Structure 1
Amino acid sequence: MEFYNKVGRLALGSRMRRLTELHMDQASKVYALYNVEMQPKWFPVYYSLCNGEEKTITLIAQEIGHSHPSVSTIVKEMTKKGIVKESPYKGDGRKNYVMLTEKGLSFDERLQEQFMDVNTAIEEALAETQHNLWKAIEEWEYILEQRSLDKRVIDAKKQRESRDVTIVEYDPKYQADFRRLNEEWITTYFKMEPADYQSLDHAKEYILDKGGYIYLALLKGEPIGTCALIKMNDDTYELAKMAVSPLAKGKGVGNLLGNTVVEKAKSLGAKKIYLESNMILKPAINLYQKLGFKKVLGNPSPYERCNIQMELNLAYLCTEIR
């Protein structure tokens, strides 16, 4: 147990496997007490068939929450022991019915006695604990079904790495980086267009002097992402020129930049933020939707690559918050 005390929650999976192995070992001894030739891992399949019905492996797997290969392996093991048997599934020779044999059915009386005694023993053991293990397992299974552990780790990784990223306002020294980052992502998926050259080569005149803003994301002082907030009129700004270096993938940079420009637009009293994109850029579209943008039918775009226009209604958001 010293290992688990040292490692803590990092060894959660290993500790649960240890607990499972402990249960399986002791459950095997329980079956032997009642002279039932059964392995603990077979029990869910046995229980599914104990009323004498014929069922397919697919149906059994659905009922007990196991994978098809897992049930198939268990059925083969139980067949070797003469506990179940298979017969051709009518209408589809690729499938088989599974049912208990006479030997399997003969376990019923002894198992009923075993079930009563096991239930009593478990209730007594649970009464000795400070926490309700059964409910805790149900809760843990539920939250992992809602959002898996690997996805939670990905989010934690992004949060940790994003703490090393700082967002700064545009400075002329970042002009080359602003152009480089945008050209890098544009040419990865599309081609540079006249409107790109206009805004990237003349950022001050096209964006800043017209009341817009440009932000850079820095990782240890190095520009890894950028985004612009272009003024369209007193009520509306455009989120544009968002680009993140492939080297910064997975660090949540797009989310940081997006939230920065949204908060800036709010502080300026803007009512809407508009953007143009392309539906093949699924991560970008997902980000915009996460920020609250909705698909709209906007004005004709100066970009050939644009096939979706989106809008964030800041006035609506403020009403919802209040």
Structure 2
Amino acid sequence: MNLYQSLGYLVLGSRLRRLSEAFLAEINRVYQKEGIDFDASWFPVFYLLSKNEALSIKELSEQIEVSHPAASQLITNLKKRELVTSATCNDDGRRQLVTLTDSGKKLLTQILPVWDAISTAMTKLVESNEQAQQLLPAITGLENAFRQANLADAISQNLVANLKPVNHE
């Protein structure tokens, strides 16, 4: 058992981040190997825009569950690469609708087969390990638990309950 495994929930975030970073690095290696100029961090926006002709930044941020500023920053990055564009919504001048550019659509056609290959490879990988088969349901369960409880408050309550007055006699 390594240090991370031995520390349990104390390092849950670090373990999840390490796993995520390792996974995304592998995916980015595939794009690079295939000569596709795409970063795995762009996936949620490209996926949503592959299913919707246009979405507002607010809709994107809500669906990918990041802050509006984080979604806006990602869209700005993709605009600089000329992969998406945004235009003011006709019926609401405050809304910016994001769409794929022609370059973005061309890139999408290149990455769709990679997405299929990722799904197939991950399915095979997970099927070969009984514990790994529990990963996605467990993550969903943990996400739901976080939505239903305030972890920071629970930790604070435990701190208060465990604090004992110090007797200086």
Aligned pairs (5 A) from 1:1-322: 2-51=2-51, 53-131=53-131, 132-161=134-163, 164=164, 219=165
Aligned length: 166
- 1:37–1:2: structure 2 CA closer, same or farther, 3 Å change rule? same
- String of CA shifts for 1:237-295, please: whole Å, max 9, x gaps: xxxxxxxxxxxxxxxxxxxxxxxxxxxxxxxxxxxxxxxxxxxxxxxxxxxxxxxxxxx
Contact 1:85 1:101 in 2 (8 A): yes
CA RMSD of aligned residues (A): 2.2
Hey, what's the Cα distance between the residues in 2 that align with 1:143 and 1:92? Answer: 36
- String of CA shifts for 1:23-54, please: whole Å, max 9, x gaps: 11111112224433221111101111114512
Q: Secondary structure at the match of 2:158?
A: helix
Give the AA of the match of 1:102: D
Bigger-Rg structure (1/2): 1
Hey, what's the Cα distance between the residues in 2 that align with 1:65 and 1:11? Answer: 23
Hey, what's the Cα distance between the residues in 1 that align with 2:106 and 2:52? Answer: 11
Hey, what's the Cα distance between the residues in 2 that align with 1:122 and 1:5? Answer: 23
- String of CA shifts for 1:194-252, please: whole Å, max 9, x gaps: xxxxxxxxxxxxxxxxxxxxxxxxx4579xxxxxxxxxxxxxxxxxxxxxxxxxxxxxx
> Shift of residue 148 of structure 1?
2.7
> Shift of residue 16 of structure 1?
1.1
- String of CA shifts for 1:103-143, please: whole Å, max 9, x gaps: 11113333232122111110111113232110110011111
Contact 1:57 1:98 in 2 (8 A): yes
- The structure where helix makes up a greater share of residues is 2
Unaligned 5+ runs, structure 2:
none
- Structure 1 moving runs of 4+ over 6 Å: none
Hey, what's the Cα distance between the residues in 1 that align with 2:137 and 2:17? Answer: 18
Q: Percent identity over the alignment?
A: 27
- 1:34–1:87: structure 2 CA closer, same or farther, 3 Å change rule? same
Contact 1:57 1:68 in 2 (8 A): yes
- The structure where strand makes up a greater share of residues is 1
Unaligned 5+ runs, structure 1:
165-218, 223-322
> Shift of residue 3 of structure 1?
3.2
TM-score (norm 2): 0.86
Hey, what's the Cα distance between the residues in 1 that align with 2:143 and 2:103? Answer: 35
| Structure possessing the higher relative contact order (Cα contacts under 8 Å, 6 or more residues apart) | 2
Hey, what's the Cα distance between the residues in 1 that align with 2:85 and 2:166? Answer: 65
Q: Secondary structure at the match of 2:36?
A: coil
